[in-house]
């Protein structure tokens, strides 16, 4: 964590995200949505290729390599969002990514360094999800509302229960429901099992509300500015 490879990866995707968003803002709406669609499919296909490579090299382990960890799962579902253009997917994925994936790039659970494919896959998917969400906000103009916080929370509870069942039958640890990851992550500061799960559950809604706060403040400012403009126009 915070070694040279970590810092270079962070800086690289920071610049890529910045230039992609800045460039896309100048394009017509149709091209902006097309880029979002291509971006979503590229993230999904990367996860699929990674899974098939594991199978091809006979390194696939059903206990570890199904694309069921949150970031892989979101990447697989992104094309559904870009194809259907249903905002409920944005409402759910926004908080999942900004709350969960952001920790994955700050405290990466990664044993393979550059130039291993797993290294590229990890960073493209995790940093790519962050960039994608920022793209939908800053380029496509999507914004969450207060209901989005609770939609995302409820959907996450459903996913959590689903993975508890999967982990029970496979004796696996997807979503870290049975134990913490081996690497140095934020979960290490939240106690042992099952206390870290209870702690995460307790802080989720406040954490989601904290993520929502800038959108709430911005919306209030826009409403106030619009009200002032109406007064001055009179």
The model carries a pTM of 0.86
pLDDT score, position 151: 95
DSSP letters of 39-69?
HHHHHHHHHHHHHHHHHHTT---TTT-STTS
pLDDT score, position 219: 74
Which residue's structure tokens are 């097309």? 34
Contact present, 24 and 56 (Cβ < 8 Å): no
Q: Report the largest interatomic distance among the alpha carbons of the chain, rounded to a whole angstrom.
A: 73
Nearest of 97, 98, 76, 80 to residue 89 by alpha carbon: 80
Q: Count CB atoms within 10 A of the CB of residue 23.
A: 11
pLDDT score, position 227: 35
pLDDT score, position 222: 55
* Alpha carbon separation from 170 to 55, 167, 192, 195 (Å, rounded): 17, 5, 22, 23
Contact present, 211 and 96 (Cβ < 8 Å): no
Using 50 as the pLDDT threshold, list the residues of the chain that sit under it.
224-234
pLDDT tens string 157-208: 999 999 999 999 999 999 888 887 776 666 776 778 888 889 889 999 999 9
Phi-psi region of 116 (alpha: psi -120 to 50; beta: other; left: phi over 0): beta
pLDDT score, position 231: 38
* Alpha carbon separation from 122 to 57, 204, 219 (Å, rounded): 18, 24, 34
Domain spans of the chain, in order of start: 4-233
């Amino acid at each position: 964590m915070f070694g040279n490879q970590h810092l270079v990866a962070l800086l690289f995707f920071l610049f890529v995200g910045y230039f992609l968003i800045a460039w896309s803002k100048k394009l017509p709406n149709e091209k902006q949505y097309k880029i979002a669609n291509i971006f979503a499919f590229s993230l999904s296909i990367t996860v699929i290729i990674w899974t098939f490579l594991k199978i091809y090299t006979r390194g696939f382990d059903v206990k570890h390599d199904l694309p069921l960890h949150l970031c892989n799962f979101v990447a697989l579902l992104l094309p559904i969002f870009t194809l259907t253009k249903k905002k409920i997917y944005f409402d759910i994925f926004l908080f999942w990514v900004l709350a969960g994936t952001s920790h994955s790039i700050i405290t990466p659970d990664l044993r393979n360094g550059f130039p291993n494919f797993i290294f590229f896959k990890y960073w493209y998917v995790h940093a790519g999800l962050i960039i994608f969400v920022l793209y939908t906000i800053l380029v496509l103009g999507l914004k969450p509302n207060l209901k989005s916080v609770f939609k995302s929370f409820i959907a996450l509870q459903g996913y959590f229960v689903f993975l508890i069942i999967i982990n029970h039958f496979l004796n696996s640890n997807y979503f870290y429901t049975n134990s913490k990851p081996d690497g140095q992550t934020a979960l290490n500061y939240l106690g042992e099992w099952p206390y870290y799960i209870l702690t995460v559950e307790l802080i989720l809604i406040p954490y989601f509300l904290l993520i929502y706060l800038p959108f709430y403040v911005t919306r209030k400012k826009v409403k106030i500015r619009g009200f002032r403009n109406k007064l001055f126009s009179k």
